Each structure stands twice: as structure tokens, then as C-alpha cells.
Structure 1
Amino acid sequence: MNKKNEQLSRRARYKSVAPGGFVSRNYVNDNENKNNNSDTIRRTAPKRSRYNEIEEDKNTQRVYKRNSQNRPVNNNLTKKEDKRNIAKKRISKPNKPRKNKKWLAALIKYCLYLASIGTIALFLICVYWIYQAPEFNSSLLDNNNRTIVYDINDKEVAKLGNKIGDNAEMSEVPQQMQDAILATEDNRFFEHGAVDYRRLVGAIFSNITSGFGSQGASTISQQLIKRIFLDDNKHIKRKVQEAYLAYKLEQNYDKETIFNMYINRIYYSDGVYGLKTAANYYYGKELSALSLPQTALLAGIPQQPNGYNPYDHPENAKKRRDTVLYLMKYHGKISEEEANAAEQVDITDGLVRRDSSNRFILSSEFDESLTAYMSQVAMELRNSKEYRNYDGDVLNLGLKVYTNLDTNIQKSVYNSMANNSVGIKNSSDIAMVVLNNENSGVSALYGGRNFKFGGFNYATQAKLQPGSSIKPILAYGPAVEYLGWATNQMIEDKKIPGSEIQNWDRKYHGNVTMNYALMMSFNIPAIKTYQAVGFNNIRKYANSVGLEVTDDSITTPIGGSADGYSPLQMAGAYVPFSNGGYYATPKTVRKVFDNEGFEIASFNSNDRKQVIKDTTAYIMTSMLRNVISGTAQYSAVGGVDMGVKTGTTTFSVSEAEKFGFDVDNYSKDSWVIGYTSKYTMAVWQGFDTIDDNKKFMTSQDNVKTQMLYKTNMQSIARLYPPKAFTAPNNVGTYNGGLKVLTNEEKSQLEAQARKEEEAKKEEENKKAAEAEKNNNSTNNSNNRNNDTATINSRNTTNNSNNGG
């Protein structure tokens, strides 16, 4: 039979059937010539089940895979036939299964579901925040919430903050000033509602790209609300409440009234509130008399009142003024020529000259004796974690501030200088600090002569060379703490090679004990001790008591380094000697409540911890007691157990040559720092700047520093009688020095004490025996004398009878 016409078997037929129901033209029996494709039969494929179709697809793939591997290249095919074969192969290739895209639809659905839940949750949170918002009280728009201050006994002692200044009517505000404020703060104020959604969208985009808080969108209405009802923290909750209350504001007042209230409530630094008051404070002018540059500066200051204060930050103030001028030009309020001309004007042009004596407009209420203390309270509030970024005046937030102030001690400290009972010379200044040893709370402050609220506080802000008063902190304290030195540790006092440093008496004393070196305040032993301890340990010790040491020079342990410390810092560093080794950051504020009565937790934090051993504290106290017999004789308070240290600093060579000072006998700083078991006090006498040949102190002036300390510590001791210091159990005297005892040393001392007790008892028994023997002898003698007297009496009687 002709193989061309031979009937194909079922299996062969199925192999030759390509997708689409046609027998492949390329099918060739395996036993035939594989290049012969002319006998391919076109047939209609029989009906097949789905299973057969799948099997067919698989078989077809296997056939064509095998054919493609075994078929030789036929170079005799025409171009048309070659294209036809390629097309056949494309037809016969099975389709790839489509990827399942149901997961994408599920993901979109899930995201929409989450977005819906998130939107609802955000809406509910916003409703809750609005519910928590302060009540809109129109009476607050005309009042001012000042800060109330309480002393250690929770008694009200002060009201801090400023009442609103002179109100300006809109008719008094020139159009140029209105244009400057609107161009800077809210150019579309009279066009939009309580919230400017156009600016809001831009601010949201900026905050997403640059971080939250990078750009604000608060309208003038929102800013007014923030200053009256809310704080200045940039969080979403506050912004929601701000927007809500702004709507309430605009429901009750028209735009012009709101703008008028705003310009009268703006804060301008230095305790200045209101545009009209600011014009008079900074320029001594009415609003109508201000020039364009002056107008621009006043319009720009409220964004960051303290940062743009022209007295403190003239460069920042100029940049801000020029920004306002640019915005006025951008919004068409002034011409480019006017803007350029105004930018060329010096920032101090027309500015009223002011110094610390006439800075800050203050309407606070407190006794004059509390001025320095209240100024420090304000500083702690402004520098706190809670309010350091607040642009307004924190004192006008209606806070309730509870302090460590002891009014009795404060008045005593203030009066000691108001009366000048010890005769401090007029050319020198004074600073004093009293700390409560229990928590380092500031009980009293004296910030300097003629101190004004907000002025420079010598007690807390000055960075002064401490002289020899630093020796317990940077030499002997660390030696006891880290090296275990006893009070009788021998230190060589002789000239340091390559150095001209001398002791105050210009002598060297050979080997001296640590106790004697501290008592007499010798310089050389302090330096030798500092070197023995090592700078790393010195720095570690100093940091633990609140002092930063950066200068590792040879004069550091004697108070002549580049590092300077305030009386507050020095007093804080001495406190651990008084209470068994505990240090806490000295502060005036102990707790704060906001205007809604909620406590602000950050002010109530307690960092008190033990930083040195109780043994170190007592050994140092035992030596500092003895300083009263050395360099601090005029500091002694009768009947009071107290440690104390003095210190002085000398003039530089250039200062001495310029003003003719005697460097051997004159000093520029004089210190006394001492403590009882209850309070620590630091007293400093010195000069702000050395610019006069009268600014020096003699040894007699240094004595008066001690007398001022004595006067105040005596008064404190009368108010609060201190207890005597007691030694820890493991501190005792060994070989003539006080030290921390080892177990072996304790055993030796106990054995020695037993021997001494036995010897004492033996001596007492011996004395008792001798006394008893003496008593018996005396009794026998008396008895003999009595017998003789009796016989003589009888003989006399007999003789008398015989004579009668």
C-alpha cells in the first residue's frame, strides 16, 4: 500500500494534530524521510474531550521539541516556504497560561478598607481633641494669664508676667504698618475664613517633604487663639484645637476686630506686648512716626520675638526685617526701589539705647528681695524642655509654679547686702547661693548689686575662675574617692621643675599631710594630688557633681584654668560632702501646673543620685572642718559643725601692668563655700570686667567675703539648727590619719581598743585599791586619835575631882 495514502493510526493522528483541529503539515512518520513534507494530509480532527486536548497539547509540545532538535537544516527551501514553516511553528506553539491578577484586586480592596477605617479613626480623634479643647471664653481676650509663684511652703509669693500694654485703635495704625503685618503673617486674611486652605495645602506638602513643623499655615485668627488659649507646641492636636477655636472666634467677631486684638496681643520680647507699646519701647515713637525699615522690623519680630530682638541679635533682626521688606514688595505693597533703600538702613537706626538697667518692661508683683530669685525662675521656665521653643512669653501662660524658695533665708541674704553689714567695697560685686542639702533645691539667691529682673545674674550665669575653692573637687576629693588616700597621706611640697607656680606664702614646706595642705590651701600639693589621680578620673569626678572640665593644664586644680563656674555650680558640687555623697541638679522650680491644672511632668523629674562614697564625703568633711583653723578663720560660726573652703584668684600680667596692680597682694575674685548638715552656701566677691584701677581686692577685702558668709550662715543656723556630722561605720583613725578601714585594720583597732579598755580597767582597779587602802589607813589613824582623846578627857576629869 502506498504509504502516502495509508490510513494513520489514532495515536499517530493525534500526534499530528495541531491546535486548531488540523493535522500538521510538518508531521512525518519517524520511519520516513524527515525532510519529506509533501505527503502531509489535511484532516479534520475528531472530537476530543478536554482531557484529550490537554494530553494532545503535551504530546504536540514533545513532538515539536524533538523535531526541532533532530531536523536538519534544509537550505533548498524557498523564502516563502521558510516563512510558512515559521508561521506553522507559531500556530502550533501552545499559549502560556494567563497570570492570576486577583491578588491585585484584593490588595486594592484591602487598602481602601484600611483608608476608610483610618479616615473614620482620624475623624473620631479630631472630635475627641476638639472636645478636650479649652472653652472659648471671650473674656480671656481682654485679660492676661500671669504666672503664680509659690514658695517651699506652698505660699503665694509672686505674680510673674506682663499685663497687656497700651491698646492701639485701628485708626492709629498706618496703612503701611497694616500692609507689613498682613504681607508677613497672613496676606489673604480679609478674604479667607478661619483657616486658609490654600496655604494649608502648601504647608502640608512642605511638612511632608521637610518634616512636621517646617512651615506653618496659621492665619491671624489662629495665631490670636494660640496666644490666648493654647501653648506653642507644634503638634497635630494643638493645630486641630487651634482651627476649631479660630472658627469660634470668627463666629463672634468680625475681621477688623480680630486684627485689632491681634496687634494688641503680639509679643515683642523684653516683656513688651502690643504694637503701640513696642513702637515706644524700641523707637520712642508713635506708630504714625515710624519709618519703613522700622515698620518692617516691628512686623517681623513676633515670629521669633527673642531670636529677632535687635538688642541681643542685631544680625538676625536685620535678616528678618529684610525678609518683611521682600514680602511687602512681592505682594505689591511697596516698590522695589523703596525695598532696596530700606534694606540699606542700619538696623540700629533710631533704636533706643538700652542696657540691663532699663531692659524689660515688667508688671510682675513680688517683694524686691525676691528679684534675683524670680528672674532665675523665669529663666528655668524659658530654658526648660517644655518651653524652650515657645515664641511667646512663657510667663503669660497662666502657670502655677512651685519653687524651693525659703523666704526667710532669702530675706536674710538680701538684707545682708542691702544693709552692707560687713562693709563690702562699692567697686566690687557680690553673688550668693544657698542650697538645701536634701535635694539641692535653691533656697535663696543674690544675683548682684542693683540687680534688675531679667538682668545678668552673677549667681547663676557668671563663669568665674574659682581659685583654691576648686581644690576639694579637682584634687583631694578624687584622691580619697579613687586612690583611697587617708587624711595623713604625705605629699611633697617643693618646686615643680619647669614651673614658676608657688604657694600663697611664697614658701615650700617639704612633706606635708593632705589634711594640712588643704587646711593651709597650698598650691603645690594640690597639683601633685591632681597629677596622681589622673585627668580622666578628675574629669569623671567633676562631671558627677555638675562641673565640666576641659582644660588639663597644670593650673586646673588650683582654679586657674580656662574653665569657669558659677556660684550655683560651685555650691552644687559641694553638696555631696554634706549628705553622704548625693548630687542633684540645683534648681529653683520643683513642680509646675498649666492653666488647666494639669501637672507638667518634666519639671518634677528627680535626678538625685549617689555620686561619691559616703566615706569620701565624711573624710573630706573632716578635713574641711579644719580649714576654719587655717585660711577660713573669719568664716567660723560658733557651735556649728561646718566644712568650709576659701579661694582667691590673681590678675594676669597684662592686667597688672595696665592698671599697676600688685600681683602678690591684690586679687580679682574672692570665694567662700561652706556647708552644715542642712544647707550649703557659696559667696563670691569680684568684678564683672577689669577696666578700672580701683577694681582689685586686698587681703582685708577677702576677709570681708568670709564675714559675709559667716553672717548669713549664722542666721541660717539659727533658723534651722544643724546636726553634727557622723562618721560611717568603716571610717576610723589609723596610724594618725582618718581613712576607710580594711578588715585587718579594723581587727587591729578592735584589739587595740580591747587592750586599752583592759588597761584602763586595770588602772581604775589599781586606783580603787589604793584609795581603799588610804581610806583604811585614815580610819585607823582617826580611831587612835579618838582613843587618845578619850583617855586625856578622863584624866582631866579625875584631876579636877581631886582638886575639888
Structure 2
Amino acid sequence: MRKQDSSTKTPFDDTPDIFRFIDRCARVVRVTVNGILLLALFCGIGLLVLKSRPLPPPDTYSSSTIFDDQGKVLGTLDNGEPRDIVRLEQIPRSLIKATLAAEDKHFYEHHGFSFTGIGRAVLANIKAGKVVQGASTITQQLARNLYLTHDRTWNRKLKEAIYTLQLELHFSKDEILQLYLNEIYYGHGAHGIGRAAKMYFNKKVEDLNLAESALLAGIPRGPYYYSPYHHLKRAKDRQQHILDLMVKNRFITKAEAESARQKAIAIAPPSSHKKVSANYFRDYLVQTAVTRYGLDESLVRNGGLKIYTTLNHDMQRAAERAVHHYTRNHEGLQGALISVNPHNGHIKAMVGGKDYSESQYNRVFARRQPGSSFKPIVYLSALENGFTPLTKIMSQPTVFRFGTNTYEPHNFQNHYANQPITLREAIARSDNIYAVSTLTQVGFDPVIQMARRLGIQSRINPTPSLALGSYPVSPYEMAQAYSTIAAGGVKRPLVGITKIVDPYGRVLVEEKTEPERVTSPAHAFVLTKLLESVLKPGGTGQRVYHLFSRPAAGKTGTTDWDGWLSGYTPDLVTTVWVGYDQGKKLSHQQAHLAQYIWARYMEKATKKQPARVFAMPPGVKAVYVDPASEQIATTQCAGNQVQLEYFVAGTEPQTRCQPSGSPTNKTLSILHRFLRWLNSF
């Protein structure tokens, strides 16, 4: 038999390779199946372990405590209201559907995690370039609220996943939803839908209609942001969005949604609060912790935190009493006060209205026209651009031209000096003609930039009325600006919280602000010495002089609707505003109440502080001057009104005044009369 040639292949020669390939595939399948079975076994064992282990008791509901600047307890952020536990069958179907539409439409379909929701959120966040959408299910939210803090660590996320699985294993979907609706935070201290229904609508849960249900369902996503008390428009916009989602998910019909849209929403007034101090400041603390430091509002209010603040208890009490004393006999009249330590920016007292139980609106942050209290910003810019306390401008009725437009301001009650007046006189009298003339000489941009440097963030336009404080700003912003001036030109951001510590002693927040120099100490000091004239006899704030005797500087401001006084000692800055919320005009006497409030408060607040004068910094020259001739005073002109004046070094007068009968003085007198004659045209 002839041997087969080894170089010749037959179709059967590859058979062993095919068998080897099939055998290899079989082994891979066996390993994969075994792996899947092993994974399933581990998962099953894990689920059995989680099922057998009882859930831990939830974190105890504990109100956060606030401390004053001395470390003494001011109180808690709890309003003392208990939770109203409701059963799921008591809750209207409209509220359940609204909650599912807002938070977790597939709640009854998943086992604690929505992978489609996670994918959708990831795509949305990638598209936006930031986190704009979350994917937490109702079960995950419940796990977080019952057992965990709201930090964003991987350890917390792992625990949340375990607790989510345990909740799904131990409770039915209806039980989880009932727990959620009784636990979730609805803002203003209301945990659970029972408290929320009573607080916002003064109703039992079972009596809520579709419109009310949709509004409530929208609040937990941002309890402060969607608060019907603070941001009613946002709350209603959120309500409309949830109604659209309910239609999209076929929970309600278009007709039902339209009917709910048209239904008027009557928000119940807030219930009476306990007589506690600093209610407006407490609200400010919560808002700051949430918006500035990124903490969850429920954690801030009820996480057992220790919140250390800058508030001084005695100063706060004096502020509340002063505002109440001078506004109580004027129906509807409101007042606001904010007091600050200029050396560190710490808020020592804050009053947002005369009665928190009637109105929780914090007017410290309300934007109102500051009137003449804005002028120091104009004059600080002028000092930086060559003005001195002796710079004279004609005080008389004047029409200013700006391009093709004209502007004709008037002094109060048409009182004019009808002669050139100095910057000091203009500030003391609050001369409007001088202020607008200064603005025209300095320019709009430097003044607006000065406002920004000092801390004014509100919109300001380059118009001539800017000099007279026509653009609304808040008392908070004015306190920031005056605090910067009082601190010698160093801006320190205003703060109310120094530190927040959780129940385990971990520091969640520690405030560390960076000071910023925005003008020179010399310019700030010269302005301060000019503003002292306002609070002395002859100044627009002279009422303060009879009630408060310490060295102080400040500026009044009066419009048809607002009364202001922003002023300071070397160690304390206070801004006071009075007015009506609804645009009702103030009488001139009512506008003066800001001065009385300021003086009464400052007299009490500074009792324990040493009386100090404003320390003169380097770069300032003190000179005795003759205001009439704008020259250095000498014994030869002692008959004139000699006064001590302060100048930024290098801008002080260089010549000495001459006797009234001297040829030089006669020539100057003739020149002044000629200039006054020219200005009269």
C-alpha cells in the first residue's frame, strides 16, 4: 500500500483544530455559566443576609442649635411643631400621583434603583457640562433621610445603596411610600405631608385638591427655592411643571390639569411663632447654609447641628426694641436694621421688620432707593479724583445737560445757598446740586466702579440721578459699603456664620473670608471726617446728636418712600431703613424715624465698648484753614471762622490767608464775586 504524500492535505486534516475550538468554546460557556450561577448565589446569599438583618433605627429627629458670638445658646431652628403621621389611605390619589410624577414615576416598577433614570441623568449632565439632574428614587431618598447625612462621599453612597435594598426587602411599596410622605421635608420646619398641608393650606391631608397637591409635591426638590412664602412665583411655576408631567405620564387628563391651573391657590399665613429672638436672622442662617455652603435644608434645621454665629444677643435685643419702639404707632410702617463689626465683617444684629409673626419678609435684603445715603460713594470717588473738603461748587437751581437730554434736580424744599459751598457743607446739608455737579465732573464709570468696589451688587445705570441714589439697593449692601469705609477702605464680606459642626464633632463649615483693599486709608478717613458733620448740629442727621454723643459719621437718605441712616463709630456700623412695603409714601416726620432708631440702638449697643475717635492714618494732613479764602489760617485772619480740616497729603492748601484789608485778599474777594456772578447765568 502506497504511503500518502505528506505535502498533500485532505478536508479531514483540520478536524482536530475544529474540535479543539469547539471544546474551548464549551469551556468558556461553562465558566461563564458557573460565574453567573456563583454571582447569583452570592447575590442571593447577600439578599438573604440583608433580609435577615433588621434595619437600624433611623437618626433621631434633633433640631439644630444656634450659638451667639459669646458661645451662648440662642435657641434652636425647630419651630416646636410636631409631625402629623398620616396613613397612605388618607392621602389623596392626586397627591400620590403628583409626588410620583415629580420624584419617581417608575416607583412601583423598580426594586429601589431606576437604571433608566440613572442613564437619563448621566446624559443630561454630560450635555449640560454640570450636574443638572439627579436619579435618586423615592426609596433612595427615604434611606438617605432616615439613616444618613447628606454629604456626597462614596462611603455614604454605598451605605445608601445597602439601606435602599433593605427597605425594599422589608417593606412593601405602599409602606415605603407612606414612610416617605411622612418623612420628607417640605420647608419651614415641616417634616411630612401632614404638617405641610396644615402649614401651607390649613387643611387636613385628605382635603387637598389637585392644584394644592401639585404645589406641595414640588417643594421637596428645593424647600427654600420653591417656598410659597419666599418665592411664590417659583412655587407656582414648579406646580405647572408637575401638572404637565402628570399629563405626560397619563396620571391625569389635560382637562384636569387645565382646571387645576386655573384654580386659585390660597396660601395660609404662617402660624404664630414662639416669642424668640432674632427670627429674621435665623432665616438668614438657613438660607446662607443652603445657598452659600450647599447644605441640605433638612439637615440644617433638623440634623442636630451646632451653628456658631456672629450675632450678639444684647445688641440684637436692643435692635429689635429700637425698631419696634419707633414703628409700633404707625400702622403698616416697617423698619429694618443691620449692624456690623467693620474689623471682621461680623453681623452683630439683624432686624428684618417690626413683627416677624405678621411678616417673615426680611427687609434687610429688600432693594429700595437709598436717596442721599448713596452720596458718600460719589464723594469717595471724587476725593480719589482730586476733590478736597474745600472744593467749592455753586449751590443754586441748575439744569444739567447730558448730550441732548437735560436733568433738573432740586434741593429739599428748594433751599439753596445761592453761593459756592464746600464739599463739607454739601455733605452736611445734603445739597443735591453739588452731588450732581460732582458726578458730571468725576464721570459715571468711576462712581459705578466705586459702588462695586465697596460691595454694591445691585443694578446701577449711568444716569445723572445716580448721584441722588435713584437705583434701589438693600440695607445689607449699604451696610457692606459703609463697613468698608469705616474699616479704612478694606472690604470684608459680611458673615453671620463662623462655624457649623455636626453631631459627631465634624466641622462642616468654617468661614474664612479674605479682606480686600478697595481704597486708600487716607481717602476713607477724609470722607469719614466729612461725614461727621452730618450727625452734628446743622447736619441732616442732627437728631442723632441729642441722643448719641460718641464720635460717629454717617449719612441720611430720604425719598418719597424711604428713610435711611447709614452710620458708624470706629467699631460698629449700622444701617437703618424705614418705609412701607406697598409703596405708600412717607411723611417727612416718618422718614426721620430712621435717625431715632439708629441713635437709640447705637446708644445701647456701644455701652460696653470704649469710646474712641477715628484714628488718623498715614497719608493724611490736618490743617487749620480759613474756609472763606480756602487758605491756611494764620493769626492775621483769626477773625474768620477758622476750622481744622483733613486732607489727603498733597492736596492741602499751600498758601496762607492774608488780613481782610490786604491787597491780596481784596483781589481774591473780587475774583470770588466775579465767579459767583458767572455761575448765576
Q: Please, which runs of 5 or more residues in structure 1 have no aligned partner?
A: 1-135, 651-667, 750-804
Shift of 1:292: 5.0
Aligned twin of 2:318: 412
Structure 2 residue matching 1:600: 3-state secondary structure: strand
Residue 642 (structure 2) pairs with residue 732 (structure 1): no
Contact 1:284 1:352 in 2 (8 A): no
Residue 513 (structure 2) pairs with residue 606 (structure 1): yes
Aligned twin of 2:442: 533
For residues 146-196 of structure 1, give each alpha carbon's deviation from its aligned partner in whole angstroms, at most 9, with x where no partner exists.
222111112221211466620112443456655554565445546644434
Query: What does 1:637-786 align with in structure 2 at a 5 Å threshold?
Result: 637=547, 639-650=549-560, 668-691=561-584, 695-698=585-588, 700-734=589-623, 735-736=631-632, 737-742=645-650
Provide the rounded CA distance (Å) in 2 between the counterparts of 1:348 and 1:233: 40
Contact 1:265 1:273 in 2 (8 A): yes
Shift of 1:720: 1.6
Distance 1:382 1:214, change over 3 A: closer
Distance 1:264 1:617, change over 3 A: same
Provide the rounded CA distance (Å) in 2 between the counterparts of 1:432 and 1:564: 17
Shift of 1:199: 4.8
Question: Which of 456, 460, 464 does residue 550 from structure 1 map onto?
Answer: 460
Question: Which of 373, 387, 397 does residue 485 from structure 1 map onto?
Answer: 387
Provide the rounded CA distance (Å) in 2 between the counterparts of 1:676 and 1:307: 37
Aligned twin of 1:101: none
Provide the rounded CA distance (Å) in 2 between the counterparts of 1:576 and 1:416: 25
Contact 2:114 2:137 in 1 (8 A): yes
Contact 2:548 2:599 in 1 (8 A): no
Provide the rounded CA distance (Å) in 2 between the counterparts of 1:180 and 1:423: 44
For residues 389-425 of structure 1, give each alpha carbon's deviation from its aligned partner in whole angstroms, at most 9, with x where no partner exists.
x5857423433211110001111111223444x9863
Aligned twin of 2:410: 502
Structure 2 residue matching 1:302: 3-state secondary structure: coil
Aligned twin of 2:494: 586
Provide the rounded CA distance (Å) in 2 between the counterparts of 1:233 and 1:257: 26
Shift of 1:678: 0.9
Contact 1:180 1:299 in 2 (8 A): yes
Contact 1:413 1:445 in 2 (8 A): yes
Structure 2 residue matching 1:380: 3-state secondary structure: helix
Provide the rounded CA distance (Å) in 2 between the counterparts of 1:194 and 1:687: 52
Aligned twin of 2:284: 376
Aligned twin of 1:274: 192
Residue 321 (structure 2) pairs with residue 431 (structure 1): no
For residues 602-621 of structure 1, give each alpha carbon's deviation from its aligned partner in whole angstroms, at most 9, with x where no partner exists.
x5130322221111121112
Question: Which of 239, 262, 281 does residue 317 from structure 1 map onto?
Answer: 239
Contact 2:224 2:287 in 1 (8 A): no
Provide the rounded CA distance (Å) in 2 between the counterparts of 1:571 and 1:202: 46
Provide the rounded CA distance (Å) in 2 between the counterparts of 1:238 and 1:490: 68
For residues 340-382 of structure 1, give each alpha carbon's deviation from its aligned partner in whole angstroms, at most 9, with x where no partner exists.
231121336374343xxx23x688x7x5331122122222223
Provide the rounded CA distance (Å) in 2 between the counterparts of 1:385 and 1:154: 21
Q: Which has the higher Rg, Structure 1 or Structure 2? A: 1
Structure 2 residue matching 1:672: 3-state secondary structure: strand
Structure 1 residue matching 2:499: 3-state secondary structure: strand
Distance 1:137 1:569, change over 3 A: farther
Structure 2 residue matching 1:368: 3-state secondary structure: coil
* Paired residue type of 1:445: M
Q: Please, which runs of 5 or more residues in structure 2 have no aligned partner?
A: 1-53, 401-406, 624-630, 633-644, 657-681
For residues 309-343 of structure 1, give each alpha carbon's deviation from its aligned partner in whole angstroms, at most 9, with x where no partner exists.
5643323312212312432x2xxxx5xxx522311
Contact 2:579 2:591 in 1 (8 A): no
Distance 1:408 1:300, change over 3 A: closer
Aligned twin of 2:362: 457
* Paired residue type of 2:437: K
Q: TM-score, normalised by structure 2?
A: 0.75
Query: What does 1:464-475 align with in structure 2 at a 5 Å threshold?
Result: 464-474=368-378
182-191 or 722-731, larger mean C-alpha shift: 182-191
* Paired residue type of 2:351: Y
For residues 86-121 of structure 1, give each alpha carbon's deviation from its aligned partner in whole angstroms, at most 9, with x where no partner exists.
xxxxxxxxxxxxxxxxxxxxxxxxxxxxxxxxxxxx
Q: TM-score, normalised by structure 1?
A: 0.64
Distance 1:197 1:375, change over 3 A: closer
* Paired residue type of 2:239: A
Provide the rounded CA distance (Å) in 2 between the counterparts of 1:486 and 1:532: 13
Shift of 1:277: 3.0
Contact 1:372 1:452 in 2 (8 A): no
For residues 514-549 of structure 1, give each alpha carbon's deviation from its aligned partner in whole angstroms, at most 9, with x where no partner exists.
111111211111112222222221122111111146
Distance 1:719 1:204, change over 3 A: same
Distance 1:275 1:717, change over 3 A: closer
736-745 or 371-380, larger mean C-alpha shift: 736-745
Structure 1 residue matching 2:83: 3-state secondary structure: coil
Shift of 1:222: 0.9
Aligned residues: 568
Distance 1:744 1:154, change over 3 A: closer
Residue 529 (structure 2) pairs with residue 619 (structure 1): no
Provide the rounded CA distance (Å) in 2 between the counterparts of 1:426 and 1:177: 40
Residue 420 (structure 2) pairs with residue 514 (structure 1): no
Provide the rounded CA distance (Å) in 1 between the counterparts of 2:115 and 2:292: 34
Provide the rounded CA distance (Å) in 2 between the counterparts of 1:269 and 1:257: 23
Alignment root-mean-square deviation, CA: 3.3
Residue 51 (structure 2) pairs with residue 160 (structure 1): no
Provide the rounded CA distance (Å) in 2 between the counterparts of 1:669 and 1:297: 35
